[in-house]
Structures are given as structure tokens and as C-alpha cells.
């Protein structure tokens, strides 16, 4: 047995658990699985925006070298999910949601897949695209959000809310009214969406798929193809980023399954980068109008928040754009009105901080505008209207340390240097500005099942069918288990990425650490109980020790009252003749305490930037980003996630905008060369700070989520700093030199 002084000292380690695989190139992403006899599928996409295909000539493509098949509406086998009705004439609950690829001759957006070419090589498949000829019947289309949104008859209601008096802000001593715009933004994870479908017979399917939820794909595809869930296996070892675009199954998944079945051969479909702009969702474009007013002391009197965002013609997509205005600040009178506008584009989807990112941009800019009119510091205005309880549901917060974020952020950015009047501070040729903005997102816990396998050599395996798109789920889970069992993380392996494992949650909505971490914590506690019971049953020295006096740490069971009574778990397993201990437990979503509390994570971002006085070039100099996300489980990976939120926010504020050519309906900038995501050279010094106080009301590990709050509110901080530097308020993102009025920029 080890020295008793040392057995309780562990080095949990904070290194990313899969760092080695990632830096050596050994991490296997979806398209990289080596499958014998693999065929390659590539989409032929429409070159009109709306209408139907009159004639599709695939004869030349079929004759091209290596081409095995061209699948289109003309020869696509029917699948159960494409039928609105079941075999016995009832409504089909498993009906495919959204566009049914290759199913009909209708064109709903520019670049919609109209055929899938399957060939024996990527080159042969790609080369045959130009050999498919489509003749279309064109119809008039609408893609221009700015133009169409003003016609109220084209809008569909999404949500309404009223508390107190409507438009009360107009009666306040001081108020502002302003309109804000955000463009379509595209997730663009570095790994492109990919699916490899491998059928074994008619009723068994293995899918290698890029997804944030292997279990979700399993269930979706089982329904679509009329299979038993247990006969669909989804493997997602590594996910090369997603930010929300892998929350649902897109066209590549059924297309690969259909082709592989038709050809009786494994088929891989990988989207191209341009297709990543139109086939896997995007953040919708938005228009917002905020009216906000306060009395002379700065106390908010009323907030009115209206919003419109776009959806597609064939699916309604809504997100909670106006939700933040209901509860971020204490205010008696709030009314919101949110509508959606169908356009002839593909369907938008959840993108990091869906709804809140857009809503907080407008609200936090409006608060800034109000602060200038009140001649009040914007941080003071926020503290003045701090919501001590959630004003929407009148519940106390489970935990809220937002004021600490304000204070720390102010100190670290040097807020005292912020000019009270905009456009007054210069460093050489550069105008200097400071700005801030905050974010909020729901904190929650879902269902998760974890299986634990403890081997005689002390190595512990934890399993759950989740995937990790980059935040470091594996790393965080190892930390939770290591802390619970007081063993080094090196002794633990977390296995994920396979739907055959016990059901885990889809990774999204900042809920993975809370949900899965709770399950890991639960199963570790269960293991402790099991070995304590084993000790009492198997070891004479333990026979008369009450189980409540026993503890488990560093692979030993011991009495907390008498340190001489202890045994290693390995010895215990040997005595009990147990080569392995296996436990499976489900951690439940339903925490009755949760309904008594409002549960949220909060963030505040501070920005110092330069605007060139001659060219309008904007250079962010320093960012301080602060998070109130409960206990930080893995500081290393949590910090990286916050850095990522800032980088995404810089793109949102200054460079990212999906552009449509409204003459043709085609996306005009579907490449990294034309859709500008932030590069190394765009990144300033970024400081990350966490409150790091546990919130045990939400879960037993005290952690809330931070994936979304890392981004929510950041673009407002930049916009507010640009105003502070220049005195010019640009309300349409992205903020460019041109919009600031620098004509020759």
C-alpha cells in the first residue's frame, strides 16, 4: 500500500485529453475512416433559385469514366421518411424534416442539390458534374431581406410578450429608439460536413457522420429508412468544429445512405467549402428595433424590442432574438414582437448563441446609446438596473455574480481611461475607444447515461454516446471523475463518439458539461458506494465499520476515523474475485429545485480599440472577457472556449457577412477568400477571467455552460467602442470603414 500521507495528493492535470491525437494527426475525423471499396458521392447543384427541373440529362455523366450512378428525382429510391404518411395511412412521425434531397424536381434555393454523382474516385465524380445538364422552368424569387421585410403581409408571427405597459419607454425622461441589423453569418467549421454510409444487408447501417449528436442521427436515420434504432450505428470520433451546424442531419446524410443502398457499396459524401455556405444552415439575417427609456437617475422605465429574421420558404426557423430584453435588466414595462420572413434561401439554423447573440447585440448597443443620452457611465447604467431576481418569471437566480464581472472587467481593461465624450481620445493618428457589452444564456441539465468500467489494474473507462466538437468535453469529464475519485486523470479514459455507447446528450446549448458532468459525477459516487460495500463484505477489518465512516480516494477504501483500516481497490477486487467492476447509471434532467430558480450563465466583454483617423481602419487592441458560468471544471479548455468566443465576435462585429446576388439568388461570397473570418493578424491581446463560483442548484458539480456566453454580447462591445472612439454609431453589422463614412477606405 502507498504511503498514507501521499495517497490523497493527486495531480489532476489540465491538459487537453485528446491533445496528443490532435497534434500528431492521429485524431480521426469523419471523412478519414478507411473503408474498403469506397465510392465517392458529389452533389450537382441547381443554377437557378426557384422553379422546377424540366429536363435532366445525365447520360453523359453516366458514360464518364468511373461514374457508377447518377441519382436524382428521376431514379431516387423512395424511403419511408420521404412519405408524409405511414404504410397504414397515418401521419408519419418519422417524416424527414426539411428538404427531402433528390426526391422531387423542385428547386427552392440557388445551389440546391439536384443530383448525386457516385463514382469510383473523387476526381471522376467531381469531373462528371459538368456533364449533367438541367433545363429549368424558372419562377420569380425573393432573397432580399432588406427589401421584403417592409411588407408586413409577407411576415409570419413568431412570438409576442408584454409585461406592464406597452411602449412605456416613450413616457420616460430620457429615451432612445434605434434600428439594428445583423447579416447572415455562416458557421464554417474547418471540417466540412461528411458522411460515409456502409450497409450490411437491407436492415443494418453503419454511418460515419459529422454530428454534435450521434444518438440524434441514429434516431433520425432509423426513422427515415424504416430501420430499428439498434441497427443503425453512428460513429463520430472527432468533430472538426460545428458551432451548431451539426445539430441536425443535413442533406449529405440521407444522400449517402440512399446511394450506398442503391449501389450496394459504401459511399462517402463530403461537402465542398462553397456548399458549406448553403447546405448546413447559417445565422439568419435580422432587423431589430429597440425603444428604451429611463428616468433621470437611469432607472429603466420601459423596453420595446421588435425583431424580424429570415427563414426559408420550406421550413420555419425561429430563435429567441427578443428573449433577452425580458429578463437581462430590471424593468417593469417590456414588450416584444418577433416575426419571421420566408425567403427563397436554404433554412437557417442554430449558430453559437442562437437568438441571444442577435438580441444582445441590439439591446447592449441600445443601453450604450441610452447611457450617453443620460450622461451616465454605461457600466453604472447596467448596475443601476441589475436584475436581482429574474423579472420575467420573478424567480431568484440560482447564482448570479454579474457585478463581479463588471468590476473585474473595468479594472483589467483600464476603464478609467475611457473618454466620457466620444471621439476625444487620440494616440498619434488613431482614435481610441472603449466599449463593453454583456451576454446571458440559459443554464440547464439534461438526461445522460454513462457506463463505468473499472479494471483490476486501476484503469477506469467511462463511456457515453456524445461527440466533442472542440470545447474539450473529454478533458472536462476526466476532471470531474478525477476529482470525485481523487485519482490522476491519466488513469481515466473517456470513450465517446459511438451511438452504441450508453445514450448521451447532443452537444449544444452550453449544456454538455452540466449534463454529462452530472452523470459522470453520479456514476463515480456509485462506484465509491460499490467498493465501500465490497470492503465491508470482503475484508474482516472493515466488518464492524459503519459504511458512513468509509471514504474512497486514490484507489483505496479507508475509514475516516481510523487510518489503519484501509485497503486498495485492486486488492479488494482480487479478494472478491472481481476482475472488473461495471456500472451504468442515468442522470436525470428533472431537478425539482430548478423550477424554483432562474438559471443562467452571464458574461461581460470589454474592448479597447483604435480607429484610424484617416482611413477608418479598426484595430482591436485589447479584450477582457469575463464569465459567470459556475464552477470552471477545466480552466485550460474553458479559457480556450472564451478565446474562441471573442474571435467569433470579432468576425461578427467587423468582417463576416454572407452576401446574396439578388439578381440570381446565388451566394456571392461562398469561400474563405471572400467571406472573411478573423485571421491571426486580427487578434488582439485577450484576457479571460472567470468568477469560478459553483452553482450547486443546477447540478452536483456546480458548473454552468459557457460556450454561448463567450460570444453573446461581444459584437455590442466592439460597436460601442467604435462609437466611443469616433462618435459615429454604425448599427448594421459588420462595422466597416465605409459605413463609418471613410469613403476612400
Partner 1 sequence: MRTCKNDEGRRDFIKKSSAIAALYLAPFILVRAVSFNKIIPQPIAKEKLQLQINGKMFDLEVDARTSLLDLLREQLALTGTKKGCDMGQCGACIVHVNGKIVNSCMSLAIDNNGNKVTTIEGLANGDQLHPMQEAFVKHDAMQCGYCTSGQIMSAVVCVRSGHAKTRDEIKEYMAGNICRCGSYQNIVDAIMDVKESGKTV
Percent composition of the chain: helix, strand, coil (DSSP 3-state, to 5): 30, 30, 45
List the interface residues with partner 1, window 413-432 (CB under 8 A): none
Alpha-carbon span 179 to 503, nearest angstrom: 44
Alpha-carbon span 237 to 227, nearest angstrom: 23
Nearer to partner 1, 335 or 657 (CB): 657
Please choose, out of 236-244, 255-263, 285-293, 517-525, the segment that lies near partner 1 by the rule CB under 8 A. 236-244
Burial of 679 (C-beta count, 10 Å sphere; 0-12/13-18/19+): exposed
- As beta bridge partners, residue 69 has 118
Q: How many residues interact with partner 1 (rule CB under 8 A)?
A: 81
List the interface residues with partner 1, window 83-142 (CB under 8 A): 121-124, 127-128, 130-131, 133
For residue 322, state whether it binds partner 1 (rule: CB under 8 A).
no
Nearer to partner 1, 182 or 507 (CB): 507
Instruction: Figure out which of the listed residues 21, 392, 525, 551 binds partner 1, where binding follows CB under 8 A.
Output: 21
- Decide: helix, strand or coil at residue 552: strand
For residue 637, state whether it binds partner 1 (rule: CB under 8 A).
yes
List the interface residues with partner 1, window 450-469 (CB under 8 A): 469
Please choose, out of 13-21, 400-408, 429-437, 449-457, the segment that lies near partner 1 by the rule CB under 8 A. 13-21
CB 392 within 8 A of CB 314: no
Instruction: Figure out which of the listed residues 646, 703, 717, 733 binds partner 1, where binding follows CB under 8 A.
Output: 646
Alpha-carbon span 341 to 388, nearest angstrom: 36
Instruction: Figure out which of the listed residues 51, 183, 240, 422 binds partner 1, where binding follows CB under 8 A.
Output: 240
For residue 236, state whether it binds partner 1 (rule: CB under 8 A).
no
Of the CA atoms within 13 Å of residue 529, those in its CB half-sphere come to 7
Query: If you search the block for the grid coordinates 421518411, which residue do you land on?
Result: 81
Nearer to partner 1, 76 or 239 (CB): 239
Of the CA atoms within 13 Å of residue 310, those in its CB half-sphere come to 28
List the interface residues with partner 1, window 650-669 (CB under 8 A): 654-655
CB 288 within 8 A of CB 180: yes
Q: What is the CA radius of gyration of the chain?
A: 28
Closest C-alpha to 714, from 740, 686, 744: 686
Nearer to partner 1, 184 or 567 (CB): 184
Closest C-alpha to 77, from 45, 43, 55, 102: 102
Instruction: Figure out which of the listed residues 472, 502, 517, 630 binds partner 1, where binding follows CB under 8 A.
Output: 472
Active site residue 407: no
Grid coordinates in use for 664? 440570381
Closest C-alpha to 458, from 501, 495, 487, 496: 487
For residue 493, state whether it binds partner 1 (rule: CB under 8 A).
no
Q: Which of 142, 319, 666, 708 does the annotation list as catalytic?
A: 708
CB 316 within 8 A of CB 159: no
Q: In the 3-class helix/strand/coil scheme, how is 29-66 assigned residue by residue?
A: EHHHCCCCCCEEEEEEECCCCCEEEEEEECHHHHHCCC
List the interface residues with partner 1, window 178-197 (CB under 8 A): 187-192
Nearer to partner 1, 18 or 594 (CB): 18
Instruction: Figure out which of the listed residues 160, 264, 537, 671 binds partner 1, where binding follows CB under 8 A.
Output: 671
Grid coordinates in use for 232? 443503425
Nearest-approach distance from CB 88 to partner 1, in angstroms:
44
List the interface residues with partner 1, window 677-706 (CB under 8 A): 677-683, 685-686
Nearest-approach distance from CB 583 to partner 1, in angstroms:
31
Nearer to partner 1, 555 or 656 (CB): 656
Alpha-carbon span 636 to 325, nearest angstrom: 32
Instruction: Figure out which of the listed residues 183, 293, 320, 644 binds partner 1, where binding follows CB under 8 A.
Output: 644
| Other Cβ atoms within 10 Å of 298 Cβ, number | 20
List the interface residues with partner 1, window 33-72 (CB under 8 A): 34, 60-61, 63-65
Nearest-approach distance from CB 638 to partner 1, in angstroms:
10
Nearer to partner 1, 254 or 648 (CB): 648
Grid coordinates in use for 85? 404518411
For residue 24, state whether it binds partner 1 (rule: CB under 8 A).
yes
Please choose, out of 85-93, 97-105, 265-273, 539-547, the segment that lies near partner 1 by the rule CB under 8 A. 265-273
Query: What residues are annotated to the active site?
Result: 708
Amino acid at each position: 500500500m502507498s504511503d498514507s500521507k501521499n495517497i490523497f495528493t493527486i495531480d489532476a492535470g489540465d491538459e487537453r485529453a485528446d491533445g496528443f491525437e490532435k497534434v500528431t494527426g492521429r485524431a480521426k475525423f469523419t471523412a478519414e475512416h478507411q473503408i474498403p471499396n469506397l465510392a465517392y458521392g458529389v452533389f450537382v447543384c441547381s443554377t437557378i433559385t426557384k422553379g422546377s427541373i424540366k429536363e435532366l440529362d445525365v447520360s453523359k455523366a453516366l458514360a464518364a469514366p468511373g461514374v457508377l450512378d447518377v441519382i436524382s428525382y428521376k431514379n431516387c429510391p423512395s424511403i419511408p421518411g420521404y412519405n408524409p404518411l405511414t404504410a397504414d395511412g397515418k401521419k408519419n412521425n418519422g417524416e424527414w424534416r426539411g428538404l427531402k434531397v433528390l426526391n422531387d424536381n423542385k428547386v427552392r434555393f440557388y445551389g440546391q442539390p439536384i443530383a448525386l454523382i457516385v463514382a469510383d474516385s473523387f476526381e471522376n465524380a467531381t469531373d462528371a458534374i459538368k456533364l449533367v445538364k438541367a433545363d429549368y422552368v424558372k419562377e420569380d424569387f425573393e432573397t432580399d431581406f432588406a427589401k421584403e421585410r417592409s411588407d408586413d403581409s409577407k411576415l409570419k408571427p413568431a412570438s409576442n410578450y408584454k409585461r406592464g405597459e406597452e411602449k412605456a419607454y416613450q413616457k420616460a425622461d430620457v429615451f432612445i429608439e434605434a434600428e439594428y441589423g445583423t447579416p447572415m453569418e455562416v458557421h464554417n467549421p474547418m471540417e466540412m460536413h461528411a458522411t460515409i454510409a456502409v450497409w450490411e444487408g437491407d436492415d443494418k447501417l453503419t454511418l460515419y457522420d459529422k454530428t454534435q449528436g450521434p444518438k440524434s442521427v441514429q434516431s433520425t436515420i432509423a426513422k427515415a429508412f424504416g430501420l430499428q434504432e439498434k441497427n443503425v450505428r453512428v460513429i463520430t470520433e472527432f468533430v472538426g468544429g460545428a458551432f451548431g451546424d451539426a445539430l441536425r442531419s443535413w442533406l449529405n446524410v440521407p444522400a449517402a445512405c440512399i446511394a450506398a443502398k442503391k449501389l450496394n457499396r459504401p459511399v462517402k459524401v463530403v461537402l465542398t467549402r462553397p456548399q458549406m455556405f448553403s447546405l448546413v444552415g447559417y445565422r439568419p439575417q435580422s432587423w431589430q428595433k429597440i425603444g428604451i427609456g429611463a428616468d433621470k437617475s437611469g432607472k429603466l422605465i420601459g423596453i420595446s424590442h421588435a425583431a424580424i429574421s429570415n427563414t426559408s420558404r420550406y421550413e420555419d426557423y425561429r430563435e429567441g432574438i427578443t428573449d433577452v430584453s425580458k429578463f437581462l435588466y430590471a424593468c417593469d414595462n417590456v414588450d416584444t414582437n418577433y416575426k419571421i420572413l420566408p425567403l427563397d434561401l436554404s433554412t437557417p439554423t442554430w449558430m453559437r448563441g442562437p437568438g441571444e447573440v442577435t438580441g444582445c447585440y441590439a439591446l447592449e448597443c441600445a443601453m450604450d446609446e441610452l447611457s450617453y443620452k443620460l450622461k451616465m457611465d454605461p457600466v453604472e447604467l447596467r448596475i443601476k438596473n441589475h436584475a436581482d431576481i429574474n423579472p420575467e418569471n420573478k424567480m431568484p437566480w440560482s447564482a448570479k455574480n454579474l457585478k463581479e464581472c463588471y468590476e473585474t472587467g473595468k479594472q483589467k481593461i483600464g476603464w478609467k481611461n475611457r473618454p466620457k465624450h466620444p471621439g476625444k481620445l487620440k494616440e498619434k493618428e488613431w482614435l481610441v475607444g472603449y466599449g463593453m457589452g454583456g451576454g446571458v444564456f440559459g443554464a440547464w441539465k439534461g438526461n445522460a447515461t454513462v457506463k463505468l468500467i473499472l479494471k483490476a489494474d486501476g484503469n477506469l473507462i467511462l463511456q457515453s454516446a456524445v461527440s466533442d466538437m472542440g470545447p474539450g468535453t473529454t478533458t472536462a469529464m476526466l476532471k470531474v471523475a478525477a476529482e470525485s475519485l481523487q485519482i490522476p486523470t491519466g488513469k481515466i479514459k473517456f470513450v465517446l463518439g459511438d451511438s452504441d455507447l450508453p445514450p448521451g446528450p447532443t452537444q449544444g446549448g452550453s449544456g454538455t458539461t452540466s449534463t454529462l458532468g452530472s452523470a459522470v459525477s453520479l456514476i463515480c459516487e456509485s462506484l465509491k458506494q460499490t467498493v465501500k460495500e465490497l470492503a465491508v463484505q470482503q475484508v474482516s477489518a472493515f466488518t464492524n465499520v459503519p459504511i458512513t465512516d468509509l471514504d474512497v480516494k486514490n484507489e483505496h477504501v479507508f475509514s475516516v476515523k481510523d487510518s489503519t483500516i484501509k485497503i486498495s481497490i485492486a486488492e479488494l477486487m482480487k479478494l472478491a474475485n472481481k476482475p472488473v467492476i461495471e456500472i451504468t447509471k442515468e442522470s436525470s434532467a428533472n431537478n425539482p429545485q430548478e423550477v424554483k430558480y432562474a438559471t443562467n450563465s452571464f458574461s461581460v466583454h470589454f474592448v479597447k480599440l483604435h480607429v484610424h483617423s484617416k482611413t477608418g481602419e479598426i484595430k482591436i487592441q485589447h479584450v477582457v472577457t469575463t464569465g459567470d458560468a459556475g464552477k470552471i471544471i477545466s480552466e485550460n479548455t474553458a479559457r480556450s472556449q472564451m478565446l474562441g468566443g471573442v474571435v467569433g465576435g470579432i468576425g461578427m462585429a467587423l468582417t463576416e457577412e454572407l452576401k446574396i446576388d439578388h439578381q440570381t439568388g446565388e451566394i456571392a461570397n461562398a469561400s474563405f477568400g471572400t467571406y472573411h473570418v478573423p485571421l491571426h493578424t486580427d487578434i488582439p491581446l485577450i484576457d479571460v477571467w472567470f468568477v469560478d463560483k459553483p452553482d450547486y442548484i443546477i447540478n452536483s458539480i456546480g458548473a454552468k455552460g459557457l460556450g454561448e456566453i463567450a460570444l453573446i454580447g461581444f459584437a455590442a462591445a466592439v460597436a460601442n467602442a467604435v462609437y466611443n472612439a469616433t462618435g459615429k454609431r454604425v448599427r448594421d453589422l459588420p462595422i466597416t470603414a465605409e459605413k463609418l463614412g471613410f469613403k476612400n477606405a
